[in-house]
Amino acid sequence: MSDKNIHPLSSSDAGLARVTEDLIELLIARGVIRFTDLPLAAQNKLLERKETRARLGNSLDLLGDDSGNETI
How far apart (Å, rounded) are the C-alpha atoms in residues 44 and 52?
12
Q: What phi, psi does 49 have (nearest 5°)? A: -65, -40
- The amino acid present at 8, given as its one-letter code, is P
pTM over 0.75: no
How far apart (Å, rounded) are the C-alpha atoms in residues 32 and 24?
10
What is the pLDDT at residue 29? 96
> What is the length of the chain?
72
Averaged pLDDT for residues 41-55: 93
Averaged pLDDT for residues 23-44: 97
